[in-house]
Amino acid sequence: MGLDPQLRWTSAARTDVGLVRSRNEDACLAQPQRGLWAVADGMGGHAFGDLASGAVVDALAGLPAPASLADFVALARKRLSQVNEALRLEARARQVPVIGSTVAALLACGIEAACLWAGDSRIYLCRQGRLQQLTRDHSTQEALKEQGADLAAAAASPNMITRAIGAADAIVFDCAPLTVRDGDIFLLCSDGLSTPVEDGAIAASLAPGDCARAADELIALALANGGRDNITVVVVRVDDLSGDKTVINPAL
């Protein structure tokens, strides 16, 4: 099916090791010609985080051309579930507790789009200068918020990821369809950006609509705020070339 020829998708991806860590265990994917973007944040120590995030990105990059968005999402789930199984086997072979990775993926097909994720890597939408988080972290802090804990109490508690590829024998992915409009800007990022950089600063970088400039600015902001983790951002923009600015209503 491919992308709608009336829509132009552009993007820019950046990743940085940060100022503290010696190894970058993040990985990213940007294929605007295929309607496919992803961020993966690896874990497991030594070089194992690299292995995990790389396996996630490679699996998505190798997806065949889909017939529909539902097909695209189903294929992504299947490939990532296979990665989950492979990482579980690798961890047992290497006698380590876990080799895992988060994933946050944006998939577009025809005039439809969807977010697919597991873990605390995020996808944001900036529309007319307003920032909205499209994903919900799979983390202990997010669980506390859902249980009614106030923000201060949740922030004071140790935060751990509750879902990731390779963390358990079975993996469940959350998926959300998108309503895409002309000029929408999407941000996919690891927590190396979302933790030290406030939403207001993220929105200010995205609002002008320049993917490459926004990606550079966001990396610089995270570094200026300490750069204690690996930092990865993928900025994506969609433009309606038909001129009618029609709202697109996707459905899985």
Q: Give me the mean pLDDT over the 111-127 stretch.
A: 96
Express each pLDDT in 179-231 by its tens digit: 799 999 999 999 999 999 999 999 999 999 999 999 999 999 999 999 999 99
**Residue 107 and residue 185: Cα distance in Å, rounded?**
14
The domain that contains 57 carries what CATH number?
3.60.40.10
pLDDT of residue 148: 63
Angle (nearest 5°) at CA 125 between 123 and 129: 145
Q: Does 250 score more than 50 pLDDT?
A: no
Range of the domain at 71: 7-240
Angle (nearest 5°) at CA 111 between 110 and 114: 95
What value does the mean pLDDT of the chain take? 91
Render the burial of 198-211: b for 16+ CB within 10 Å, e for the rest: eeebbbbbbbeebb
pLDDT of residue 192: 97
**Residue 80 and residue 92: Cα distance in Å, rounded?**
19
**pLDDT over 90 for what percent of the chain?**
79
Instruction: For residue 136, tell me if it sits in a domain.
Output: yes
Lowest mean pLDDT among 24-33, 143-152, 174-183: 143-152
pTM, whole model, 2 decimals?
0.92
Instruction: For residue 252, tell me if it sits in a domain.
Output: no
Q: Give me the mean pLDDT over the 140-159 stretch.
A: 67
Instruction: For residue 112, tell me if it sits in a domain.
Output: yes
Our count of domains for the chain comes to 1
Instruction: For residue 24, tell me if it sits in a domain.
Output: yes
Q: Give me the mean pLDDT over the 10-39 stretch.
A: 97
pLDDT bracket for residue 170 (50, 70, 90):
very high
pLDDT of residue 159: 74
pLDDT of residue 251: 36
Q: Give me the mean pLDDT over the 126-147 stretch.
A: 89
Instruction: For residue 248, tell me if it sits in a domain.
Output: no
Q: Does 44 score more than 80 pLDDT?
A: no
Q: Give me the mean pLDDT over the 72-86 stretch.
A: 98
> Under a CB-based contact definition with an 8 Å cutoff, are residues 48 and 70 in contact?
no
Q: Does 152 score more than 60 pLDDT?
A: no
> Under a CB-based contact definition with an 8 Å cutoff, are residues 114 and 73 in contact?
yes
